[in-house]
Amino acid sequence: MKNLLKEMTIEEKLGQLIQIPPFFYIKDLKDELYGPAVELGLSKEQIFMTGSVLGIGSPEEMIEVQKTYLENNRHKIPLVFMADIIHGYETIFPIPLALAGSFNKDLVKKVAEISAKEAQTSGIHVTYSPMGDISREPRWGRIMESFGEDPHLNYILNYQMVKGYQGSSIKDEGSLAASFKHFAAYGLSEAGRDYNTVDLSEYSFKQYFAQGYLGAIDAGAKMAMTSFNTFEGIPATMNEKLIQKILKKDFGFEGLIISDYNGVRETITHGISENDKEAALNSFKAGLDIEMVSATYMKELKEEFESGRLPIELLDERVLKVLKFKEELGLFDNPYKGASRIKHDQIVLSSKNLEFALKAANESIVLLQNNNNILPLSKEQKIFLAGPNANETDLNGAWSWHGSRTNNETLYNILNNNDLLTSVEKCDVIVYFGGEKSNESGEAKSKTNINFNESQLNEIIELKKYNKPIILINSSGRPIILTNVIKHTDSILQTWFLGTKSAEAIYQTLYGINNPSAKLPVTFPQKIGQIPIYYNHLPTGRPKGSLYNEYVSYYIDSSNEPLFNFGFGLSYSNFKYLSLSISKDIIKGDEEVILTVNVKNESNRAGYEIDQLYIYDPFAKISRPVKELKDFRKVWFEENEEKKISFKINKEMFKYYDQNLNYRVDDGQIILYVGTSSNKTLEQKIIFVGGDK
Ligand code: GLC
């Protein structure tokens, strides 16, 4: 690669750091550009010096773009093709927020593996995924792309997703290099308004909100995408401390760093860079390698390097990273890697992939209410089906740009084809399929009102007059406030957006073919006014119930409690947590002890239970959350089966950042909790000895 570098002009080197959409190479491709990036101002020669492509639509399109490019590029350096493969390519899986509720590491990894194999047949080499942004913000439309509010769950699932995409080598066909995003803390956009200001301390970031990115980094993610938002007042795209100190030095990330869409030029709008030249200089000096869909590097930095104001070695170092990445992907050997109509038609939407999509959908459905065990239904019961999603084919969720919408099943069709439908007068049970539409969440889809839809509520109240049990199926890309509707329903299934096999999974869950097992990866508030509300909160100095009468932390018009807690989810089985025991109640130094919980399925229905392990450190150098998830087990129980489930407890679980950002562990008491939800646990106290002084 170094010899190739020597042959390249400064302009050709800068070109490798630019990423543009495919239609710039072939004019008759669909023009999907929007916003200020429409006019990049690149000459034809410059277009054919650029290094990578954002988005591609088919094997034929990729082959044509790559072929045209190689015919026009002096050094025959292949393009690398990148795209948003977020929860599937053409087989669409549940949105990440739904997948998080499965608490199934292997399932999430397999989703990424299948997504990679399908996307690769269109010649895609890199995915801008996983999104490691932890969020407690249901008003934010992109919470659907996250794995929810918990640091530990985010670490685990981002790790698994990268492993699934990248496989054993990104050179292999069927693997994708992973570009985790959005570094950093984009999920904390103030007031849930997308692209809004983010303000948090480095302490808070490292203690909680970095865990998703760290999971991706520890799994070997090859790229990082910087976020639109500011971090300590500086846009992440040009934030030297965030990139050079935190991402590279503290977190040890050595891969490529790409901006988000037009992020470099947005440093002007943020009010820091005064023009394109400053935007380019600020971002380049901060450590940004690739500029997505803007071209200030090409247009503004050439003179800086030619004059020597910027050392050419800096440019060479960046360009070498890009060339080595292309080599690692195997693109110099085979620039068309993976792109094949034959493979596409064999692999994409295969029955095997669809079968797994159904499994993933089934494991992502959360049963929130089931009064009098109305669910599961029997085939003898007749249904009146209502609600705006009853006949909806698009339950894929946002960021499913290549997923089919038209040939997805609908719940109406499935029930109708099984002769299960009748009039509201004659029915045994009413099923109301409501919630959000797919396009009400995702990027730039923030909402101030996340109450259950008013007109849908009124329809349910009307249906109540028939005195039949009402089952609500709530599809949404975010927590919805169900407080006003829950008093009118008997059962509620939270179905998020489950992808291609949504309708089949909902049908199988209604009839008990699937026993719902998922748990909430994010808190469901009682009221919008409680937001942000999350389980791993600090105790405060005046927790509700403490000795101050009314001078405590509470609302005069609401309880503090959410409607549904993090980790909550019912089942058609009936799991009882009978006892908790520990092998030793004092842990010394590096010792490990075993915590064992005894759980029984007191029902004649087999199913999964997700046992959750939390800790609380009541006395530390900094105030610690009242509960923190540290491990979980997804365990299958046969009917009436009792099991002992064990967790390894060691000091790694107790470590935390103190105010000086020292990662430490103290002597003292730790309270361990194990249970079926963050607010329903057994507890065990232990002492740790051998902490930092
Ligand atoms: C978008 C998103 C980012 C995505 C990128 C490319 O604006 O913020 O998540 O990967 O542009 O589509």
- Give pLDDT tens digits for 534-572: 999 999 999 998 887 889 999 999 999 999 999 999 999
DSSP string computed for 396-428: S-SS-TTS-STTS--HHHHHHHTT-B--TTT-S
- Give pLDDT tens digits for 96-135: 999 999 999 999 999 999 999 999 999 999 999 999 999 9
pLDDT at 26: 86
Active site residue 658: no
- Give pLDDT tens digits for 478-518: 999 999 999 999 999 999 999 999 999 999 999 999 999 99
Ligand 1 centroid from CA 162, angstroms: 18
Which CATH topology does 575-689 take?
Answer: Immunoglobulin-like (2.60.40)
For the CA of 128, the nearest atom of ligand 1: 10
- Please list the residue range(s) of the chain that carry CATH number 3.40.50.1700: 368-530
pLDDT at 35: 62
Q: Best of 260, 399, 400 to mutate for ligand 1, by most ligand atoms within 8 A of CB? A: 260
Ligand 1 centroid from CA 341, angstroms: 26
Spatial distance between the Cα atoms of 26 and 33, rounded to a whole number of angstroms: 14
Q: Best of 34, 126, 128 to mutate for ligand 1, by most ligand atoms within 8 A of CB? A: 128
- Please list the residue range(s) of the chain that carry CATH number 3.20.20.300: 2-344
CATH number of 2-344: 3.20.20.300
pLDDT above 80 (res 31): no
For the CA of 84, the nearest atom of ligand 1: 10
Q: What is the mean pLDDT of the chain?
A: 97
Residues in contact with ligand 1 (CB, 6 Å cut-off): 54, 84, 128, 181, 260-261, 443
Map residue 213 onto helix, strand or coil: helix
Sorting pLDDT into bands at 50, 70 and 90, what band is 155?
very high
Ligand 1 centroid from CA 84, angstroms: 7
The residue contributing the CA closest to ligand 1 atom 8 is 260
Query: Of these residues, 133, 260, 276, 617, which one is catalytic?
Result: 260
For the CA of 227, the nearest atom of ligand 1: 8
Q: Best of 20, 87, 443, 446 to mutate for ligand 1, by most ligand atoms within 8 A of CB? A: 443
Helix (H) or strand (E) segment spanning residue 267: helix 266-269
Dihedral (C-alpha) 431, 437, 443, 448: value to the nearest 10 degrees?
Answer: -80
- Please list the residue range(s) of the chain that carry CATH number 2.60.40.10: 575-689
Sorting pLDDT into bands at 50, 70 and 90, what band is 613?
very high
Ligand 1 centroid from CA 199, angstroms: 21
Ligand 1 centroid from CA 281, angstroms: 22
Ligand 1 centroid from CA 448, angstroms: 23
For 547, other C-beta atoms within 10 Å of its C-beta total 7
- Give pLDDT tens digits for 637-654: 999 999 999 999 999 999
Spatial distance between the Cα atoms of 199 and 184, rounded to a whole number of angstroms: 11
Tell me the β-bridge partners of 276: none
Sorting pLDDT into bands at 50, 70 and 90, what band is 426?
very high
Q: Report the interhelical angle of 105-120 vs 151-166 (nearest 10°).
A: 40
The residue contributing the CA closest to ligand 1 atom 12 is 84
pLDDT at 680: 97
Nearby residues of 21 by Cβ (< 8 Å), 6 or more positions away: 32, 33, 53, 54, 55, 293
For the CA of 181, the nearest atom of ligand 1: 9
The residue contributing the CA closest to ligand 1 atom 10 is 128
Q: Which CATH number fits domain 368-530: 3.90.740.10, 3.40.190.10, 3.40.50.1700, 3.40.50.11890?
A: 3.40.50.1700
Q: Best of 261, 291, 292, 441 to mutate for ligand 1, by most ligand atoms within 8 A of CB? A: 261
Ligand 1 centroid from CA 260, angstroms: 6
